[in-house]
Structure 1
Amino acid sequence: MVKIKGLFSNIYSFLIYSFLYIPIIVLIVFSFNDSKYRGNWSGFTLNWYQELFRDPDIMRALYTTFVVAIVSSVVATIIGTLTSIGIHSLKPKYKNLFINLSYIPMISPDIVIGISLLTLFVILKLKLGYFTLILAHITFNIPYVIFAILPKLQQLDPHLEEAALDLGATPLQAFLKVILPEITPGIFTGALMAFTLSLDDFIVSFFTTGSGVSTLSIKIYSMTKRGVSPTINALSSIMFIVLLTIMFIVQLKQHKETEKK
């Protein structure tokens, strides 16, 4: 009976992962397709990868996407780290209140966040462009960073900081040399999550960007009106491989740190 349950569990897992990854595999395979039409395989080619790097509009959108993702994830990580430490140090009643408030942006539809931020920027008379786009990405990234770090803070010995202070450390030294190293995996996870969410975002970016500033998702959306070029398959394949490599390096690093402990 146990073997049968194990067999069904393995089959179920295989089907789920197949459903998730087969479309990505098909995308990567057809990025090497010589045909312009996706459903027709005409032979192997690297032409679409060459065309990708020759297209100034896509390169500009890719550059904007990475600049916004890097800047917003760094700022959101700093703010989210300080906020999570502040929330953790509150009394239980206030702690639960701020945790629930932090959940709201995560469960709110993207279109609500996008329109509300657009309204705020209009009221403040901010010109839509790079600045508003980065502000919007920082805003929706902060809660994800907070909830990546809070579990690490909850795992800490509550007397650890007091012990460091008793041994002569200043509050800043206690934070930098005792608390920060312990929550670094959570900070790194939050930063990586913020970066990938920023890369992926479309709706919030669509409402908060200005004329002449397009992220990759907005550029692809504009291309759908006249047909998406196979160069997007090539770009998506490169981005997937890069992110997969980053995830592999992170997991390998965490595995080595766990073995040391």
Structure 2
Amino acid sequence: MPVLRWIRRNLIVIAGLLTLAYMILPNIVVMVFSFNKPNGRFNYAWQRFSLDAWKDPCGVADLCGSLSLSLQIAFWATLGATALGTAVAFALVRYRFRARGAISSLIFLPMAMPEVVMAASLLTLFLNMGAQLGFWTVLIAHIMFCLSFVVTAVKARVMSMDPRLEEAARDLYAGPVQTFVRVTLPIAAPGIAAGALLAFALSFDDFIITNFNAGSTVTFPMFVWGSAQRGTPVQINVIGTAMFIIAVSMVLVGQLIASRRKSNARS
């Protein structure tokens, strides 16, 4: 039958579109309910259209404070994890030293370990050290578990680099620093940027490790979890929608820049 033949030819495309719809559907629900005006405390059933939550996104007590704290932690965790992860990735790819394989395996251990185990281990460490749980313990914990993801992204990029480009730069009397800044770093930049974006998203979104090591500090995911126990305000959907739009816009801008560079290179 023609229909069956068409399905067979386009099976991969259909499966991809269904998977994409499955992934985007929760975000669409969040966006739709950001314009809802519920009768009670719970924003789970559509009542009527309203822009009240968009006009006053900080109308709920402590919401914007927790959001600001999460953004600060994610920013500094991204900087720390990206700097350390980039250095570790270059060291693992470019240098030969004892226990290199063991260190490479240990770096990826946080990715394979359950988050609750890592959270409990970090809490035990901080308590034995006598550290005061709060902003700094959360930041240290976030840098630690984001580090593995940055190393993975940067290492893959560094391994694919052509060493002849750096050799050509040295043949043209470029020094080590000049070669790194003008040749190595621009080539590795996409991997570094990917690792940084991944670290920011993971840090901003984390709940389990943060909940164990935050003490009285309340981040945005912890605020959402706490609000869900007594009633979810519409402003949470507004913040989620804004974050989704910003992320999609960044991806589209990146794709546009990449396509323009390709077209300029061809011409």
- TM-score normalised by structure 1 residue count: 0.91
How big is the shift at 1:94? 4.9
RMSD (Å), alpha carbons: 2.1
* Runs of 5+ unmatched residues, structure 2: none
Question: Are 1:161 and 1:174, in contact at CA under 8 Å, matched by a contact in 2?
Answer: yes
Of 49, 54, 70, the residue aligned with 2:54 is 49
* Runs of 5+ unmatched residues, structure 1: none
Question: Are 2:37 and 2:234, in contact at CA under 8 Å, matched by a contact in 1?
Answer: no
- TM-score normalised by structure 2 residue count: 0.89
Corresponding residue SS for 1:128: coil
Is residue 2:95 matched to residue 1:90? yes
Of 199, 207, 230, the residue aligned with 1:202 is 207
Amino acid at match of 1:120: L
Is residue 2:36 matched to residue 1:33? yes
How big is the shift at 1:196? 0.7
Deviations along 1:182-238, whole A, 9 cap, x unmatched? Answer: 101111111111111111100011111121x21100111111221222221122111
Of 219, 225, 233, the residue aligned with 1:221 is 225
How do residues 71-90 of structure 1 correspond to structure 2 at under 5 angstroms? 71-90=76-95
In terms of mean alpha carbon deviation, does 247-256 or 171-180 score higher? Answer: 247-256
How big is the shift at 1:92? 9.1
How big is the shift at 1:7? 2.9
Amino acid at match of 1:34: K
How do residues 94-133 of structure 1 correspond to structure 2 at under 5 angstroms? 94-133=99-138
Q: Distance in 2 between matches of 1:107 and 1:24?
A: 27
How big is the shift at 1:260? 4.0
In terms of mean alpha carbon deviation, does 225-234 or 81-90 score higher? Answer: 225-234
Is residue 2:148 matched to residue 1:143? yes
Amino acid at match of 2:17: F
Change beyond 3 A, Cα 1:114–1:254:
farther
Question: Are 2:142 and 2:203, in contact at CA under 8 Å, matched by a contact in 1?
Answer: yes
In terms of mean alpha carbon deviation, does 234-243 or 95-104 score higher? Answer: 95-104
Corresponding residue SS for 1:44: coil
Question: Are 1:88 and 1:95, in contact at CA under 8 Å, matched by a contact in 2?
Answer: no
Is residue 2:235 matched to residue 1:249? no
Of 6, 11, 17, the residue aligned with 1:8 is 11
Change beyond 3 A, Cα 1:41–1:188:
same
Percent sequence identity is 32
How big is the shift at 1:39? 4.7
Is residue 2:20 matched to residue 1:17? yes
In terms of mean alpha carbon deviation, does 88-97 or 221-230 score higher? Answer: 88-97
Question: Are 1:49 and 1:235, in contact at CA under 8 Å, matched by a contact in 2?
Answer: no
Q: Distance in 2 between matches of 1:168 and 1:7?
A: 54
Change beyond 3 A, Cα 1:11–1:177:
closer
Q: Distance in 1 between matches of 2:261 and 2:23?
A: 30
Q: Distance in 1 between matches of 2:72 and 2:139?
A: 9
2:164 counterpart residue number: 159
